[in-house]
Structure 1
Amino acid sequence: MGALAFFAGLLLFVMGMGKWQETGSPFWLWGSVAFLVLLVVMSLSSRGGGKG
């Protein structure tokens, strides 16, 4: 995953957190957190796992 995709995902996370602040709905909060975790896992796994 390229740096551009990572920052686009980070922007989506921030927008989701803003939506949570507006609505107060826990679905926006947990959806944004789950998206951020997924983004980090994808970025780490796409490095190729250079150990070994």
Structure 2
Amino acid sequence: MGSCAFLAGVLLTLMGLGRWHETGSPYWLIGSLLLFVLLLVGAATGKKAR
């Protein structure tokens, strides 16, 4: 389940960056980068299954 959540987070980040490129709104950029940072922190601090 963790790997699926990681891939979903990466997909959402890329979609947000694409939306930022289309609209030029800084809120899409900030939100996408914040999501990516949270994703990396969660992946680095997450528990291993074994």
User: 4+ residue runs of structure 1 moved beyond 4 angstroms?
Assistant: none
Larger radius of gyration: 1
Unpaired runs of 5+ residues, structure 2, are none
Query: Which structure: greater helix fraction?
Result: 2
TM-score norm. by structure 1 comes to 0.83
Identity %: 52
- Computed over aligned residues only, the root mean square deviation of the Cα atoms, in angstroms, reads 1.3
TM-score norm. by structure 2 comes to 0.86
Pick 1 or 2: higher relative contact order, CA cutoff 8 A, min separation 6.
1
Q: Count how many residue pairs are aligned between Structure 1 and Structure 2.
A: 48
Unpaired runs of 5+ residues, structure 1, are none
